[in-house]
């Protein structure tokens, strides 16, 4: 009787496991999670409706799980169109701005892209879903470690993360087809211009910290640098190494 009882329990456990697999398998095969429909709604209501129409950018925004890049207490707000705190005085940008900046560099699947200001890693993940490789720099030690671990866990294998002062870029990995800066600088850092490939595009907020800044598009063509203001924005300040 004792062995029979154990056998019945084992059979029940196996049946429960098979039932769970049956329920979860469609989601796994379709690449869906609990937030899939919420992301689609976010893209439709907050991004396409405001003029972003690059298909690769829209697909990335639909697929990258933003809730994985925000603190647990903010997960229910992950797909609202607004910035959220990620600690250490930093934020994750609102989805529309992430999409807008991504589209602005005209990403192609062969691109090598530099990002300055990894933060939670969300912008890097969006870029990595489109381009060949992403090199992202974060100066805050704790955010660097968290983002590196998170991106590895989520299998964004074409992203490399560096803990350094982003002002100097990442010369050994350049030149870059595009550069995305996610913090407000008082001017465009010359090393970033140098590392921008011929024909490349850089998107960077420039202006006074804790005030309204200009989101600039910087282009390099024939060795000439041109800048154009795309919109007014508010980003956290560009953090520098105190020894620099």
Residue corresponding to tokens 């899939």: 36
Contact present, 103 and 54 (Cβ < 8 Å): yes
Task: Point out which residues pair with 161 in neighbouring strands.
Answer: 136
Residue 28: its pLDDT value, please? 44
pLDDT of residue 1: 47
Q: How confident is the model at residue 29, as a pLDDT?
A: 43
Which tokens in the block code for residue 22?
A: 């049956």
| DSSP, res 47 | I
How far is 77 from 224, CA to CA, in rounded Å?
Answer: 43
Contacts of 243 by beta carbon, 8 Å cutoff, 6+ apart: none
- The pTM for the full model equals 0.84
Q: For the chain (length 244 residues), average pLDDT per consecutive 10?
A: 55 58 46 81 97 98 97 95 94 96 97 97 98 98 98 97 97 97 94 97 91 94 93 87 64
Q: Tell me, what's the pLDDT at 210? A: 74
Active site residue 93: yes
Q: CB within 8 A of 30, min separation 6: which ones?
A: none
* CA distances from residue 196 to 7, 56, 117, 149, 163 in whole angstroms, order as listed: 66, 22, 17, 28, 20
DSSP states along 57-104 = HHHHHHHS-GGGGS-GGGGGGTTSSS-EEEETTEEEPPHHHHHHHHHH
4, 30, 44, 93: the catalytic one is 93
Nearest Cα to Cα of residue 181 among 173, 172, 170 = 170
């Amino acid at each position: 009787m004792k062995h029979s009882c154990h056998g019945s329990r084992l059979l029940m456990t196996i049946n429960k496991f098979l039932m769970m697999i049956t329920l979860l398998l469609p989601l796994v095969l379709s690449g869906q999670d609990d937030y899939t429909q919420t992301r689609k709604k976010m893209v439709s209501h907050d991004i396409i409706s405001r003029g972003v129409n690059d298909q690769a950018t829209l697909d990335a925004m639909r697929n990258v799980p933003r809730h994985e890049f925000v603190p647990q207490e903010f997960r229910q707000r992950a797909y609202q169109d607004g910035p959220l705190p990620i600690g250490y005085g930093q934020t994750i940008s609102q989805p529309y701005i992430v999409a807008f900046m991504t589209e602005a560099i005209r990403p192609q699947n062969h691109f090598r892209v530099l990002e300055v200001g990894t933060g939670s890693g969300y912008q890097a993940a969006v870029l990595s879903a489109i381009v060949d490789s992403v090199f992202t720099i974060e100066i805050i030690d704790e955010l660097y470690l968290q983002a590196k671990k998170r991106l590895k866990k989520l299998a964004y294998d074409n992203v490399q993360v560096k803990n350094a002062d982003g002002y100097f870029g990442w010369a050994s990995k350049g030149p870059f087809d595009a550069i995305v800066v996610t913090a407000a600088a008082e001017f465009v850092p010359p090393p970033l211009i140098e590392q921008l490939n011929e024909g490349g595009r850089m998107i960077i907020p420039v202006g006074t910290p804790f005030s309204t800044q200009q989101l600039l598009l910087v282009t390099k063509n024939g060795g000439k640098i041109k800048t154009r203001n795309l919109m007014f924005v508010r980003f956290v300040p560009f953090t520098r190494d105190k020894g620099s």
